[in-house]
Each structure stands twice: as structure tokens, then as C-alpha cells.
Amino acid sequence: MCVHAHPDDESSKGAATMARYVREGIEVLVVTCTGGERGDVLNPKMDRPEVQENLPLIRTQEMDRAREILGVKQHWLGFTDSGLPDGWLPDSGIALPEDAFYLVPTEAAAAPLVEIMRSFRPHVVTTYDEEGGYPHPDHVKTHEISVAAFDAAGDPERYTDRGEAWQPLKLYYQHSFGKARIEALHLAMLAAGLESPYEEWLVGDRDWARDKSERVTTRVECAECFGIRDEALKAHATQVDPDGFWFAVPRELQEKAWPTEDYELVSSHLPERLPEDDLFAGLR
């Protein structure tokens, strides 16, 4: 089970991992917490009034296409996108809309996720770290309810109206954009005589204080599924420009320079043997 905040997050974070496991015959469920209703149209080719007016429906349709490409199942949790006001941080005091997912108490917001865990019965759950991967209110809230649901799903005395208790065995945080990966892709582009999209990131004054590369415990080799990941990304046409940043590094360079997607094992009900190269280590 992979828990995400918005439609498109499943395709930009861990998509090749999911595609690899689907190929291996493992059942994968994406849980999407919100509909992305307050998102922007980020692909200039799609920035038209009729698209913005119908964005919730269009993003649902995009999710359907991405799900089919990845070969996963998908469930909408049903909360409303919080939006991302300029300067928002968890302690900023900047107001969010009253119906925002972020403002739903964690105990209540975790309830439908507990129910899905108990019905789907995953062995492995992936989600975002305590900062949401980056500080977006919906990503932070997704982290909070994922951790809460993972801890509660196996307790028969909690959420007694949400199905029979089931304890997932491993919980992972995704770490998609660590400095080591960015450096590897940057150097691969330079070695190929190409302009790196990460030049300003690495030689400028970018703050790497949030780099979490040292926390990675598990690197899943999935380069053979990068093509599936890319097609799933392109399915989210309102969010991803096929000629833009996401595709600036040729796939063959990515496959050689950094052929894994990376995770941090944060909770396990199995004996740990780290590092790992498989989210199902100890379960096979």
C-alpha cells in the first residue's frame, strides 16, 4: 500500500518501484488522500480556462490513466485538497480553507485509512516522512495519518467499527530527491556533454539542510520500469510538461547513474537486516 496526498504523487514518487512489484505478481494499492482540487495547472500546454474550470474531474481522469499504466489498484480517501498558500509551514499561522484535509483531526482522518488497511491487508506500507517529503500541508497530513493508521490497524481495541484488526509488517518513508542522487544525475549529464537541470541546485546557494540521504536504508532497483513511471507521469497532463523538468535527464542516463528508488525503513514487525534492496526483505 502506497499512501499519497494528491493524484500525480504516485507517479512522481515510487512509481517504478510499484511497477516492478506489479510485474512480480505483487498486488499494489495506491491510496490518494485528496482529489487535488486546489492544485494549479502546471503544464503550460494545458493552461486553458476550460481546464482550470474542470480541474477536479480532469485530475480524476488522469489518475485513472496513470493507474492503468502502473497496473495498480487505487482508492480515493475522499478528503479535500488544502492548497498551498505562499509561505505556508506547519507553524506559520497562515490560514487554510475550512474544509482542508490538513485541518481534519488526525484521529478522524486516519479512520478511513485504517479501514482500508484492514480490508486490503498490506504487508508493506510506504508514505512520506515527517516533513511530507516537502512542506505541503497535504503531504504532512498524509504522513501523520499513515503513521497513525499503521500503528492502529493491528489493535483490535481501536477503531472497532472499521473492520477486523490487521497489522502491516513494514512501514517505509520515500526519499526521492536526496543530494547524492541529484549529484549523480548532474555528473552523468556533464559527462555526456549535456546541460544539467541541476546546475543551479548544486553550485548555487540551495539549502541542503533537509537532505535525508543518510536516512536511506533500502534501495530498490527498478530502472527497467522507469519507462512505465514516465508514461504514468505523462498521464497527469495538467501537472507534468512532457518537455519540462521531469524529463530533462535522458532515461538511459538515469538508468545508469541512479537505477534505484530509495526508502527509509521506520517501523518493522520483523527482524531487521539493513541495508536492504527490497521492500519485502524478510517476507519473501
3-state secondary structure 202-216: HHCCCCCCCCCHHHC
In a domain, 186, yes or no: no
In a domain, 197, yes or no: no
Mean pLDDT, rounded, for 117-129: 98
Mean pLDDT, rounded, for 73-90: 95
User: Residue 129's pLDDT is what?
Assistant: 96
Which residues lie across from 64 on neighbouring strands?
Answer: none
In a domain, 192, yes or no: no
Checking if the pLDDT of 85 tops 80, the result is yes
Q: Are 102 and 137 in contact (CB under 8 A)?
A: yes
User: Residue 207's pLDDT is what?
Assistant: 75
- Reduced to 3 states (helix: H, G, I; strand: E, B; else coil), residue 268 is strand
Sheet harboring 170-174: ordered strands across?
73-79, 29-34, 2-4, 124-127, 170-174, 260-268, 218-221
In a domain, 73, yes or no: yes
Distance, in Å, from the CA atom of 161 to the CA atom of 115, rounded to the nearest integer, reads: 9
Distance, in Å, from the CA atom of 266 to the CA atom of 146, rounded to the nearest integer, reads: 12
Total domains present in the chain: 1
Nearest-5° angle of CA 78, CA 84, CA 87?
Answer: 150
Checking if the pLDDT of 206 tops 80, the result is no
120 pLDDT band (50/70/90 cuts)? Answer: very high
Checking if the pLDDT of 200 tops 90, the result is no
Distance, in Å, from the CA atom of 221 to the CA atom of 225, rounded to the nearest integer, reads: 9
Distance, in Å, from the CA atom of 59 to the CA atom of 238, rounded to the nearest integer, reads: 8
* Binding positions: 6, 9, 139
* 30: CB partners within 8 A, 6+ apart: 1, 2, 4, 10, 18, 67, 70, 72, 73, 74, 75
In a domain, 148, yes or no: yes
pTM of the model as a whole: 0.96
Checking if the pLDDT of 156 tops 80, the result is yes
Mean pLDDT, rounded, for 192-217: 87
pLDDT digit string (tens) for 3-20? 999 999 999 999 999 999
Mean pLDDT, rounded, for 67-89: 96
* Binding positions for Zn(2+): 6, 9, 139
User: Residue 210's pLDDT is what?
Assistant: 79
Q: Which DSSP state fits 81?
A: P
265 pLDDT band (50/70/90 cuts)? Answer: very high
Looking at residue 241, which CATH number applies to its domain?
A: 3.40.50.10320
Mean pLDDT, rounded, for 241-252: 94
Higher-scoring residue by pLDDT: 189, 204: 189
Mean pLDDT, rounded, for 206-214: 81
Rg, Å, the chain Cα set: 19
In a domain, 277, yes or no: no
103 pLDDT band (50/70/90 cuts)? Answer: very high
In a domain, 275, yes or no: no
In a domain, 12, yes or no: yes
**Length reported for the chain:** 284
For the chain, what percent of residues have pLDDT higher than 70? 99
User: Residue 211's pLDDT is what?
Assistant: 87
User: Residue 115's pLDDT is what?
Assistant: 98
Range of the domain at 142: 2-177+212-268
